Structures are given as C-alpha cells and as structure tokens.
Amino acid sequence: MKKILSFILTPLFYLIFGLILVVFHIAQVIALNVFGHNAHDKVVAVLNLFLMRSQIILGTSFKFNNFKTLPKDKPIIIMANHQSMWDIPPLIWKFRAHHPKFIAKKELTKGIPSISYNLKHGGSVNIDRKNPEESIQKISEFAKFINKNNYAVCIFPEGTRSKDGKVKPFKIGGLAALLKEMPNALVVPIAINGTGKIDNTGSFFMNLGVNVTYTQLPERYLSLDDIEKELNQIRFEIIGLVE
C-alpha cells in the first residue's frame, strides 16, 4: 500500500515543492531589492518553513529535542551531521533569529530557483572544492562577516552527505578557518536522524511516514589548540543519537 501511495503522492510533492521554490524566488528578489537584507532573511525563513511543511504530503514528521534560546550577542556555529538535502530547511527555520548562513559548493549557485538565489545573495559563501586553498581564504573572509554581525553559520563537517546514515569522519579545515576569525563563537552541535530515509536511497519515489528528529546537544566553546579532540567528541555524541 505504501508503494502505491508513494506513486501518487511523490509527483504531487514535487509539484508543490517546485511551486514553493518559484514563488519564493520572486519574493526573495523583491524583498532584497526593495526592502533590503533583513527582509530577504525573513522571506528565506518563511520559504524554509513552507519547504519543511510540504513534507506533510509524504507523512513526514519532525521532532525537535532540547532546543533552547541562544544568545544573540555573539556569533554561532551550528554543526550537524549531514544525511540529506532535507536537513537544511528545519535548521534555517529553527535558527531564523540568528540569520543562518551556509558554506556551500559553488555548483549550487546556479539553476535552482530560490536556493541558488539565496546562496548567491543571502550572505552565504560558495566554494570550489577542487581549490582548497582558495576555499579556506573565502571561509576566513566569510567568518569575519559572521563575526561582525553576530550571525549563525551552519556547517556539515563530514563534507558530504552520508547515504547510509552513518556519520563520516569530521574534517577540521572549515571549522578551523571559522574559529580563527571568531574564537568566541558559540558552537551548537545538532544530531539529525531520519532525513536520509526520505529520499529512499535515491529513488524518484519517496518514502512515506518517515520520523525525523533534530536533537540539540549542549552548546560549547572550542579551542583551536584542541580542535581535533573536541571535534571527535562532538562526532561521537552525534553518533550516539543517530546510529
């Protein structure tokens, strides 16, 4: 029965998903060019609420554990494991008060309504993974921007999505570049569980009724001197919640 329902509901979901992206692309252009960056950030937040809620069509449920109010007088690094593209909308919505920005691969800045526009014009940084030296330099400049405005940056230290849900080793480079420019940033680890199941291992037809959880681990400050040890500790904490 679930397969039959998936054949019916998946095309409907993609239709609604695509319409949301197109409508909010127009809304972003108007907000940014007429009202400025704060208005644009608000439109992006609502966009991601709609993207998250569109999952109702598939019967996806979202649960948020241990989320609490964070200070607005300092930059924040939101660090999460990465299972799917569906990881991102709930993060943007839940942390909207902190204007979350991303470190994204440059390929995402073209051809995707709403998403590409936000990555190009919303304050995120777009890097070429084939040019690590340039990428670190861009991240350093980006970190200065985040630090100056007390914004949040969302990073996925695995570097890529985990197709089987198992947490890959964390890479130090991006985080170290951020901390070098904003050593007083508050690091907020997030354990994401279940989003990878929505995609049904890459099949066009989506899984139905997936239960997704986001768990906020205790926030902390990290030291560049002990970054490898501390990063591994965060990884093991996340593994304990998702594997």
Per-residue pLDDT tens for 27-85? 999 999 999 999 999 999 999 999 999 999 999 999 999 999 999 999 999 999 999 99
Domain carrying residue 38: 2-242
Note the pLDDT of residue 61: 97
Per-residue model confidence as pLDDT tens digits over 183-198: 999 999 999 999 999 9
Total domain count for the chain?
A: 1
Percent of the chain with pLDDT over 90: 83
- For the segment 88-106, the average pLDDT, to the nearest whole number, is 95
* Whole-number Å distance between alpha carbons of 72 and 94: 14
Distances in whole angstroms, Cα of residue 3 to Cα of each of 57, 237, 242: 14, 35, 26
CATH number, domain containing residue 34: 3.40.1130
Note the pLDDT of residue 92: 98
Reference 119, options 138, 105, 139; nearest CA is 105
For the chain, what is the mean pLDDT? 94
Answer yes or no: is pLDDT of 218 > 90.
Answer: yes
Answer yes or no: is pLDDT of 111 > 80.
Answer: yes
- Cβ-based neighbours of 196, under 8 Å, separated by 6 or more: 83, 84, 161, 162, 163, 164, 165
Per-residue model confidence as pLDDT tens digits over 158-168: 988 887 889 99
Q: Is 151 in contact with 74 (CB distance < 8 Å)? A: no
